Amino acid sequence: MPVYFDIQPDLNLIIYVCLGTVNAVEFYRAADAATFDARLTDDMKIIIDLFSAQLDAFPSDLPLALRKKKQMDQEGRKLGQTAVITKSSGLKFMADALKLMSSQSPVTIDVFHNIQDALIWLGLLDIKEEAIQFLTDFKRESMEMVV
């Protein structure tokens, strides 16, 4: 199913909206496409919205995530703080495993059950309303593309 992204340079924020059932390969395909977007800069804050999706991910997908991170490091690109918002409690364990496995090239990722906690962790409270509006508008547009 679809993974959409949008970038708001003024907010230093990239948002991924996942809909339906999404697997790791589909997500990284969208992430790769985002790297070609001229608006993307290093260390942008990232929000991955999985509220309307079922992530079809398994511990066996963690090496793919580590390879993608290593590739970014080799290309000199820096991955910003990544907040995943989801209803799933199991995804927290995968994020923790990813952090433990990426000791040579640390990954800054955490999982939240609401956007407010994600924005606090990302240090975006000063632009909270703008960030929520950006996410809400883009999610609505993404859902309209699916229909």
The domain segmentation of the chain, as residue ranges, is: 3-146
Q: Does CATH place domain 3-146 in 3.40.960.10? A: no
Backbone angles phi, psi at 86, to 5 degrees: -160, 160
Q: Model confidence over 15-73: pLDDT tens digits?
A: 999 999 988 888 888 988 998 899 999 889 999 999 999 877 766 677 777 777 777 77
The whole-angstrom separation of Cα 124 and Cα 5 is 19
Three-state SS at 38 = coil
Q: Model confidence over 86-130: pLDDT tens digits?
A: 998 888 887 887 777 776 767 788 999 999 999 999 999 999 999
Q: Give the CA dihedral 57, 60, 63, 65, nearest 10 degrees.
A: 0
- SS3 of the chain: helix, strand, coil, percent, to 5: 50, 20, 30
Neighbouring CB atoms inside 10 A of 3's CB total 23
Instruction: Give the pTM.
Output: 0.88
Residue 34 CA: distances (Å) to CA of 4, 27, 42, 125 = 9, 11, 12, 25
Angle between helices 115-122 and 128-146 (to 10 degrees): 130
Q: Which amino acid is at 33?
A: A
